[in-house]
Structure 1
Amino acid sequence: MKFTHQLKFNSVPEWREHYIQYAHLKKYIYALAKKEADLQAGAPSVEDGLLAPLLQDPARAGQGPTEEGFQRELDAQLAALLAFFAVKEADLLAKVSELELDVRSLEKIPDHRQASSLSRLSVTSGAGSRLETSPAGGAGANASTIPVAAPGMDASPSTLDLARMVTNTPPQDHRKVRVKYWESPPRSAFSPNLHSRRAKLQGRFQDLYIGLHDLRQFLIINKEGFRKIIKKHDKLTRTVDLRDRWWPNVEAHLAPTTKQQELDKAISAITDNYAVVFMRGDAARAEEELSRGLREHITVERNTVWRDMAAMERKYAAVSVKQASPTGSARAGWLRGCLRWGKLAMSCLVFAIMLNINVWPGEENEPRNNCLALLLFASLLWSLEAVPLFVTSMIIPFLVVTLGVLTDSTKSPPARLTPQQAAPVIFHAMFSQTIMLLLGGFSIAAALSKHAIAKQVAVTILSRVGRKPRNVLLASMFTATFASMWISNVAAPVLCFGLVQPILKTLDPGHPFAKALVMGIALASNVGGMTSPISSPQNIFAIERMSMDGHPPSWLAWFAVALPVSVTCNLICWVLLLLAYRPERHISEVRRIKPNTDPVNGTQVYIVIVSLLTVIGWCGNTVLQRYTGEMGVIAVLPLVAFFGFDVLNKDDFNSFLWNVVMLAMGGLSLGEAVKSSGLLASLALYISNMVTGLSLWQVAAIFLGMILVATTFISHTVGAMVILPIVQSVGEAMSGHPHPKLLVMGSALMCSGAMGLPVSGFPNMNAVSLEDSTGNAIVNTADFLMVGVPSSVFAYMVIVSLGYVLMLLVGF
């Protein structure tokens, strides 16, 4: 393996910029060799200008590459990595000392130097006997005297028994006393949660062990890098022999005897303490377990580097890694191709048949008949995945215009728009504030990921909830729901997918837990659209409709209904995901993510401030609306702040999920077509005529069922805009005690609960567009049919049962 690749695969990702700049030095050597060859041939060098960016001293850039300049470059790089090593070494050794102090604090056992003073503090019990000591240091037969606990000692019986044992113990036996303590430590040492705090302590041991080994490897690989670069220099140039002239500097500063002794000593201390605390004093077992954790960490890091490299290759060369079929035969590929063409042919056949069926007779109803055919055609293509999802979205504007689906509702009867009139209308509908919200969310997620803030958040979540897959999944889902409550369920999933990317990178492609995690965030974000009046556009429309009597609902009343419903829906979705993917059968614990111990820099502070200001702006949109108009305008802030000040660059912009944007545009255009053609209004009015004379619960169940089906295929926002006025009028027209607010709020909640297809809401669109490092989608339509459809059905049941009761209790 070339050293360049060896350096990539064996370097710590967070420290990559602090290693020897091997590629840079190689270029300098090639330039020196080229200049030497040109001088020998008597020809002037023409590449000095190209080398200017490599030269550290601008004043000498015009002189071209020189041996003195190369040696200055070597000196600068050696000094930089030594300075970095010194900082990291001091930080890790301080953490080792801190961990040892924490362990001693939990033990509260005096060491052998304190033993004699402890014996002098002993008091005689009622029998008057004194504690005697055998010549070997053990307790004698008369042991009825209990020594008084030293300051800071735990007064529990187990600690006092150990205090008896430690009295006058020689240094070689003190370790046995500590081992005895850790075999059954008192709960008071770890209250309130013994298991969690011991696991956290174990994680600190493992992280420090890995960090110390990484730092030791840092010295080794950099020394090897300098050896190879000097060897290459002496091979390609003939002017100066650096092996004799400069290599002694490396030997003096990077030799194992001068730099690694403190690290080895710290590693030995970590291993010995780990053996005492967790392995009953068995140092060999402790070394084996810590080494196994180190090997797993290296495997994960190397796999992550490989996947990052594959992703970069795909990004710039359009290369994709495809999984081989189980049989590896050409016949399997041929069958897949036939199946795909069969799906496409069936969809086109259904489309052609529906275009020739007049569900609503009359020429004036032709737009809604055509729109029904278009809706079925798009739904079949999306559900069967005959073509990529975003490709289906691309064809929708074309069909909307050519089929004459749009009408002018301001005229009576509505007039059909000509293609010249329809084209600007549909393109106006495609680019809305929702698209800007997506782009703003993409920019925040990219900044959080690129500058390692998302990784730190993921580490924090894992440290709080443990590493069990079911706990990580549940925590991620509730994080997405909580974020949706305040920044809308359009922007929240983008951020949450960015936060779990570090976890996804540790999983193999196609891993069931990766599918469960992505699906969980998507479903939880949809559910999060119920939680507050600002969490989704349909809730804003619902509040508007519920306020027409002059008594708008309070946020407290909304929370009283929405929070129990959303929590219940989240738990049901969580159980469905565990049953569908069985993640704990494939992974017992989520692989540990190594925390970034580098100090916080100014760029990270800037990103956090801009992100928080954007989130606050989204949360306070109702107050800022008179100045900003819509939430999409606020989404411009992170785009300008990050791309305008070098936090992100044009490559980051090009790597946005533009297929998600196109998918969202297709959904918006289809929603505009369904609304403008009058198709959705006709269906809603037909159902409202059917519910005449039924009870309130029956009316709610029927309308919510219709909304569930409709908003599974079209935009939740468009569905709410069309259906909520009809639902309100039906509720007001009911005899007895009308409950229009109950029906309106239930309908708004149901819009968010429709999550059965990849196009059922923007969280699903984001989820289905996520790819692993090999270019394959993490989830697809089959996953939504398997988990999303049952989740939608259960959400419907929760709303018409628990939600119905809660809405009655709060007076809706």
Structure 2
Amino acid sequence: MKFTHQLKFNSVPEWREHYINYTHLKKYIYALAKKEADLQAGGQLTDEENLYSPLLQDATRAEQGPTEEGFQRELDVQLAAILSFFAVKEADLLAKVSELELDVQSLEKIPNRQEASLLSRLGSEPPPGTPQGGAAPGGPLAASPSTLDLARMVATTPPEEHRRVRVKFWENPPRHVFSTSSLHARRAKLQGRFQDLYISLHDLREYLHINKEGFRKIIKKHDKLTRSVDLRARWWPNVEAHLAPATKQQELDRAIAALTDHYAVLYMGGDVSRASEELSHGLREHITVERNTVWRDMAAMERKYAAVSVKQAAGAAGAGRSSYIRWLKLAASCLVFALLLHVEVWPGEANRPRNNCLALLVFASMLWSLEAVPLFVTSMGLPLLIVCLGVLVEPGGSGQRMTPQQAAPAIFHAMFSQTIMLLLGGFAIAAALSKHAIAKQAAVAILSRVGRKPAHVLLAAMFTATFASMWISNVAAPVLCFGLIQPILRTLDPGHPFAKALVMGIALASNVGGMTSPISSPQNIFAIERMSMDGRPPSWLAWFAVALPVSIACNFLCWFLLLRVYQPGRAIAEVRPIKPNTDPVNGTQVYIVVVSLLTVAAWCANTFLQRYTGEMGVIAVVPLVAFFGFDVLNKDDFNSFLWNVVMLAMGGLSLGEAVKSSGLLEALAHDISDLVTGLSLWQVALIFSGLVLVATTFISHTVGAMVILPIVQSVGEAMAGGHPHPKLLVMAAALMCSGAMGLPVSGFPNMNAVSIEDATGNAIVNTADFLRVGVPSSIAAYGIIVSVGYVLMLAVGF
């Protein structure tokens, strides 16, 4: 293996910038060799020599091309940087080891040997009746000796006996120190710190080896390609003097030995060899994950710049069968489409737009659900079909169908809405947070507080998505949250159940988050508008009183369903912790956080700012300009946006406009409203919530709310018995809009979820995942809204 690849595979990702810059030094050597060859040939330096100048540091550009002195200065600078980084990391890790030892001693209530010896020299004598081994009569430490007693026992015993006393302490700790449950919790927390420090110490020791090997390789290459100076004799002693294991690794080895000894006492009954074996096993697992992650990162870079696709191998027969099934799905969808075009559900030529739109809705839904073609391809074909089928009707109630010349600009106007700008603004914030390691630090902060169990991490990710949706809308929130879990997804194998559970969990939780506040989704804004027709708009507190319990219950049900379907606990015992970035916060990161927080605050205050900005989509321009205009992001980052999601969203908006303009959804809603005459309030809520669930599963939640909510309000006002409840019905319908999440096109969080890919280019979730999890989750949300939500809405007076 070339050393360049060896360096990539064996370096710690967080320290990558602090290793030897092997590629740069190689290019410098090639420039030296070329210069030497040109001079030996008797010629002058050619213009081609200038090609090497961008590869060299500024210190060499002032000279006449590359020189041996400049190359040795490069070596000195890189060696000094490596030693400086090593010194900082070593001091930091040794301080953490000392802190861990102090924490262990504090828990044991046993002083270290030096403190015990000091107490002994002060005149203390072993307590009467105490055996030499440190166990009081009646069993190991049964008498719960005091700290001074333990100090006396430990002072006169060798290290092996000292370890035995500590082992007995942990086997039967005194009750006055802590309870059994408290002991278990503290030991479990300490165990993770032991493993992390053990891995970091070995990483730092390997850091010396790999950099020393890099200098050896580069000097060997220099002496092979150039003959002017023998660096092996002149400069290699610097490496031996500063990177020799005997001089640099003593403190690290002592720290590793101390960690292993403490680990043996706390978890292995004093068996040091078993402790070393278990810690080494964790180290090997860590190295495997790190190398797999590096491989996936390299594959992702290849895909990004060379359009390379990595797919699992399949036999010719399997590939042929898959292609046959795909064509069969497409043929079946087209056949159903052709048949529906000739069926008149609503008779008469005036209703032709509605009939055509129904056929188009079924056709698009079949293509999306069967995935006969990629989801975004179906969306791209919708504008063509909408215009050619004459689905759009002129506004104003005339019923006149638009001509193609009128329909084309109308449908393109509907496709690019403020929602698309919100999506792009969310992409910009997510890209900046991810590129500059802010998202990773947020993930570390969250996961460090919820433990490592997959079920707990999944629940934390879901409630984070719901909370974010509560304040920045469920369009931008999932984009940010998918960025937060990327560090975890990168360490999981393709197709891993936990990866599916995480992506699906954030999508479902973001949909549920659309219920939580009046600004969390556009349909809530429309609902507030309809509920304010009597001059008494609902307060935010009343909305929270209903929406928060409903969303929390929905989240827990979705979480339980994800655990049952994917069973992540069987596939992975614990989530590997993400290493925190210990580099200091820089100005760019502060700038990103400030811009992001200001954008989120403006979104939250949109009700007050809309007189100046008009719509939330205008505010989304702020992060785009702030990040791309000031070199936080570049054009490559812009090109890497999820444009397939944008096209998918545009297709959903175009279909929603067609359903609205043709009068199809209005006709369906009115037909159902005729059936609810004479029914009770709960029965009406049940029926309309079911209608909303079915409709908004296939079309935009926003469009469904715009069309259905006015009808729901009118039905509520006309309720018999003199007790109208239009606000209750409107809010139930609005909540159900967010609860419809059965297909990839059911809301923007789902569209984002199906676009998430692993490093090999394969989608993490697909339509089958939404059918398995999204449909039952939608039904569960429906049940909660018409039961718990219904009772709460009556309680607050809606």
Q: TM-score range by the shorter chain?
A: over 0.9
Structural mapping, 1:169-180, within 5 Å: 169-172=156-159, 173-180=161-168
Mean CA deviation greater in 627-636 or 305-314: 627-636
Q: Structure 1 residue 163: deviation in Å?
A: 3.1
Aligned residue number for residue 441 of structure 1: 426
Q: CA RMSD in A?
A: 2.3
Task: Say which SS state the counterpart of residue 565 (structure 2) adopts.
Answer: helix
Q: List gaps (5 residues or longer) in structure 2.
A: none
**Separation in 1 of the partners of 2:101 and 2:696?**
58
**Separation in 1 of the partners of 2:166 and 2:388?**
82
Mean CA deviation greater in 167-176 or 65-74: 167-176
Aligned residue number for residue 182 of structure 1: 170
> How many residue pairs were aligned?
793
Aligned residue number for residue 273 of structure 2: 284
Q: Structure 1 residue 116: deviation in Å?
A: 6.7
Residues 599 and 189 of structure 1: CA distance in aligned 2, closer, same or farther (over 3 Å): farther
TM-score by length of 1: 0.94
User: Contact (CA 8 Å) 1:493, 1:525: kept in 2 or not?
Assistant: yes
Q: Structure 1 residue 118: deviation in Å?
A: 5.5
Q: Structure 1 residue 123: deviation in Å?
A: 11
Q: Structure 1 residue 805: deviation in Å?
A: 0.9
**Separation in 1 of the partners of 2:557 and 2:136?**
62
Provide Cα deviations, 1:581-640, integer angstroms capped at 9, x if missing partner: 111221121223222233323322222222222222222221222222222122222222
**Separation in 2 of the partners of 1:671 and 1:62?**
66
Q: Structure 1 residue 333: deviation in Å?
A: 1.2
Aligned residue number for residue 152 of structure 1: none
Q: Structure 1 residue 275: deviation in Å?
A: 1.5
Mean CA deviation greater in 542-551 or 196-205: 196-205
Aligned residue number for residue 98 of structure 1: 99
Is 1:493 aligned to 2:478, yes or no?
yes
Aligned letter for 2:518? P
Q: List gaps (5 residues or longer) in structure 1.
A: 147-154
Structural mapping, 1:434-583, within 5 Å: 434-583=419-568
Q: Percent identity?
A: 79
Aligned letter for 1:445? A
Task: Say which SS state the counterpart of residue 688 (structure 1) adopts.
Answer: helix
Aligned residue number for residue 21 of structure 2: 21
Question: Among residues 324, 330, 334, which one is paired with 1:338 in the alignment?
Answer: 324
Aligned letter for 1:337? S
Aligned residue number for residue 151 of structure 1: none
Provide Cα deviations, 1:229-267, integer angstroms capped at 9, x if missing partner: 010011011111111111111111111112111111111
Mean CA deviation greater in 226-235 or 102-111: 102-111
Aligned letter for 1:235? K
Structural mapping, 1:158-173, within 5 Å: 163=150, 166=153, 168-172=155-159, 173=161
Aligned residue number for residue 74 of structure 1: 75
Q: Structure 1 residue 185: deviation in Å?
A: 3.7
Aligned residue number for residue 394 of structure 2: 408
**Separation in 1 of the partners of 2:236 and 2:762?**
48
Aligned letter for 1:467? R
Task: Say which SS state the counterpart of residue 233 (structure 1) adopts.
Answer: helix
Aligned letter for 2:285? E
Residues 68 and 426 of structure 1: CA distance in aligned 2, closer, same or farther (over 3 Å): same
**Separation in 1 of the partners of 2:328 and 2:772?**
22
Q: Structure 1 residue 530: deviation in Å?
A: 0.6
Q: Structure 1 residue 171: deviation in Å?
A: 4.7
User: Contact (CA 8 Å) 2:465, 2:477: kept in 1 or not?
Assistant: yes
Mean CA deviation greater in 674-683 or 713-722: 674-683
Residues 194 and 683 of structure 1: CA distance in aligned 2, closer, same or farther (over 3 Å): farther
Aligned residue number for residue 750 of structure 1: 736
User: Contact (CA 8 Å) 1:139, 1:164: kept in 2 or not?
Assistant: no
**Separation in 2 of the partners of 1:261 and 1:168?**
27
Is 1:681 aligned to 2:682, yes or no?
no
Question: Among residues 320, 332, 335, which one is paired with 1:349 in the alignment?
Answer: 335
Is 1:304 aligned to 2:293, yes or no?
yes
Residues 193 and 376 of structure 1: CA distance in aligned 2, closer, same or farther (over 3 Å): farther
User: Contact (CA 8 Å) 2:154, 2:162: kept in 1 or not?
Assistant: no
User: Contact (CA 8 Å) 1:28, 1:65: kept in 2 or not?
Assistant: yes
Aligned letter for 2:275? A
Aligned letter for 1:351? F
Structural mapping, 1:197-346, within 5 Å: 197-325=186-314, 329-346=315-332
Mean CA deviation greater in 757-766 or 416-425: 416-425
User: Contact (CA 8 Å) 2:550, 2:784: kept in 1 or not?
Assistant: yes
Provide Cα deviations, 1:766-802, integer angstroms capped at 9, x if missing partner: 0011111111010000010111111111111111111
Aligned residue number for residue 9 of structure 2: 9
Is 1:131 aligned to 2:128, yes or no?
yes
Aligned letter for 2:201? L
Aligned letter for 1:131? P
Structural mapping, 1:560-709, within 5 Å: 560-709=545-694
**Separation in 2 of the partners of 1:529 and 1:424?**
31
Provide Cα deviations, 1:35-91, integer angstroms capped at 9, x if missing partner: 111222233333222122222236744611111111111111111111111111111
User: Contact (CA 8 Å) 2:735, 2:785: kept in 1 or not?
Assistant: yes
**Separation in 1 of the partners of 2:322 and 2:148?**
72
Residues 123 and 260 of structure 1: CA distance in aligned 2, closer, same or farther (over 3 Å): closer
Aligned letter for 1:363? E
Aligned letter for 2:27? K
Q: Structure 1 residue 674: deviation in Å?
A: 0.6
Mean CA deviation greater in 188-197 or 691-700: 188-197
Task: Say which SS state the counterpart of residue 415 (structure 1) adopts.
Answer: coil
Mean CA deviation greater in 537-546 or 175-184: 175-184
**Separation in 1 of the partners of 2:133 and 2:491?**
51
Q: Structure 1 residue 273: deviation in Å?
A: 1.6
User: Contact (CA 8 Å) 1:162, 1:177: kept in 2 or not?
Assistant: no
User: Contact (CA 8 Å) 1:390, 1:663: kept in 2 or not?
Assistant: yes
Is 1:393 aligned to 2:382, yes or no?
no
Residues 594 and 140 of structure 1: CA distance in aligned 2, closer, same or farther (over 3 Å): closer
Residues 766 and 647 of structure 1: CA distance in aligned 2, closer, same or farther (over 3 Å): same
User: Contact (CA 8 Å) 2:144, 2:174: kept in 1 or not?
Assistant: no
Task: Say which SS state the counterpart of residue 407 (structure 1) adopts.
Answer: coil
**Separation in 2 of the partners of 1:724 and 1:346?**
35
**Separation in 2 of the partners of 1:196 and 1:623?**
48
Aligned residue number for residue 40 of structure 1: 40
Mean CA deviation greater in 637-646 or 394-403: 637-646
**Separation in 2 of the partners of 1:139 and 1:439?**
68
Provide Cα deviations, 1:686-708, integer angstroms capped at 9, x if missing partner: 11111111111111111111110
**Separation in 1 of the partners of 2:152 and 2:168?**
10
Residues 277 and 348 of structure 1: CA distance in aligned 2, closer, same or farther (over 3 Å): same
Task: Say which SS state the counterpart of residue 264 (structure 1) adopts.
Answer: helix
Residues 137 and 11 of structure 1: CA distance in aligned 2, closer, same or farther (over 3 Å): closer
**Separation in 2 of the partners of 1:356 and 1:189?**
82
User: Contact (CA 8 Å) 2:510, 2:749: kept in 1 or not?
Assistant: yes
Residues 702 and 140 of structure 1: CA distance in aligned 2, closer, same or farther (over 3 Å): closer
Q: Structure 1 residue 130: deviation in Å?
A: 6.7
Residues 190 and 492 of structure 1: CA distance in aligned 2, closer, same or farther (over 3 Å): farther
Provide Cα deviations, 1:368-398, integer angstroms capped at 9, x if missing partner: 1111111111001000100000000000111
Mean CA deviation greater in 616-625 or 163-172: 163-172
User: Contact (CA 8 Å) 1:33, 1:236: kept in 2 or not?
Assistant: yes
User: Contact (CA 8 Å) 1:138, 1:169: kept in 2 or not?
Assistant: no
Q: Structure 1 residue 115: deviation in Å?
A: 4.0
Residues 74 and 142 of structure 1: CA distance in aligned 2, closer, same or farther (over 3 Å): closer
User: Contact (CA 8 Å) 1:55, 1:61: kept in 2 or not?
Assistant: no
Aligned residue number for residue 804 of structure 1: 790
Aligned letter for 2:521? S
Is 1:83 aligned to 2:84, yes or no?
yes
Residues 747 and 80 of structure 1: CA distance in aligned 2, closer, same or farther (over 3 Å): same
Mean CA deviation greater in 758-767 or 175-184: 175-184
User: Contact (CA 8 Å) 2:110, 2:147: kept in 1 or not?
Assistant: no
